[in-house]
Copies of this chain bind each other. A is one copy, B any other.
Amino acid sequence: MTGRLFVIGTGPGNPDQMTPEAQAAISQATDFYGYGPYLDRLNLRPDQRRHASDNREELDRAAAALRTTLAGSTACVVSGGDPGVFAMAAAVCEAIDNGPDEWRSVDIVVLPGITAMLAVAARIGAPLGHDFCAISLSDNLKPWNIIETRLEMAAKAGFVIALYNPISKARPWQLGKAFELLRGSLPATTPVIFGKAAGRPNELITVRPLGVADAAMADMATCVIIGSAETKVIPRDGKPDLVYTPRFTAGGNR
């Protein structure tokens, strides 16, 4: 008799942006697996067990949660944001795919959450109002030349680009290189949004034109959104500018 494995997202970190569905899963589960700072967001009861692990141990963490579930417990794997976007749901699937057959029998329930780009976009207007893509800038996960190709094709195709994992101590130059590349395909006036800790007390949202966008404005907790050539800025007196990408591109049927 196996238990159930919830795979949830906390949203960006503001508890009011976590869904009631994820909240209900948290109150049912007995064993929690995730990166420590994400588990800290949960206010667990004393009878709930906390299994914190480092940010780069996703597969081991998934395996531990699957074993606990097979032993009959209700486990909960916790991601920040949405568990399906550059997060633990794929790691759990990967563990199942490569693990013992019995792991396929586990009752898996993935519950969606507010992913960083949606939270950042909301704070500034509607930069994701038309076609867009999400790219992880981590070359731990794929070769850098694939990232370059994706950035260039995305800019040429006219997608707004949301960058996850833009920078870290071990990956200091990649974001600057991405800006440099994109300056070759996009106008220097294209708005770049640096969204740090959206919705949290230390939130900081900054907009710079691509021509002068500086990678030093980002850190590990930043989601960077780069507009398309269509993206517009609305200046407002005494209020932050709004940034949006129009729903229409000239030439549609309407």
Contact = CB atoms under 8 A, between A and B. Distances in A.
Interface string A217-234: 000000000000000101
Tallying the copies of this chain within the complex gives 2
A150 B154 CA distance: 8
B118 A254 contact: no
A213 interface: no
Contacts of A178: none
Contacts of A133: 131-134, 154, 159
Contacts of A119: 112
Given A58-B247, A122-B84, A129-B84, A139 B14 contact: no
Contacts of A89: 121-122, 125-126, 129, 244
A142 B248 contact: yes
Contacts of A236: 104-105
Given A16-B21, A84-B126, A153-B153, A90 B247 contact: yes
Interface string A98-141: 00000011011011111100110111011111111111101111
Nearest to A127: B84
A82 interface: yes
Contacts of A131: 133-136, 150
A118 B134 CA distance: 13
A19 B22 CA distance: 10
A198 to B, nearest CB: 9
Contact of A17 (B19, B104, B129): B19
B112 A17 contact: yes
A158 B11 CA distance: 26
A94 B143 contact: no
A201 interface: no
A246 B96 CA distance: 12
A96 B234 contact: yes
Given A21-B14, A154-B133, A93 B253 contact: no
A38 interface: no
A127 B96 CA distance: 15
30 contacts: A16-B21, A17-B21, A18-B19, A18-B20, A83-B126, A84-B121, A85-B128, A86-B247, A87-B129, A93-B234, A94-B247, A96-B234, A104-B235, A110-B122, A113-B114, A131-B135, A133-B159, A140-B254, A141-B248, A141-B249, A141-B252, A141-B254, A142-B249, A142-B252, A143-B252, A146-B251, A149-B157, A150-B158, A154-B159, A157-B157
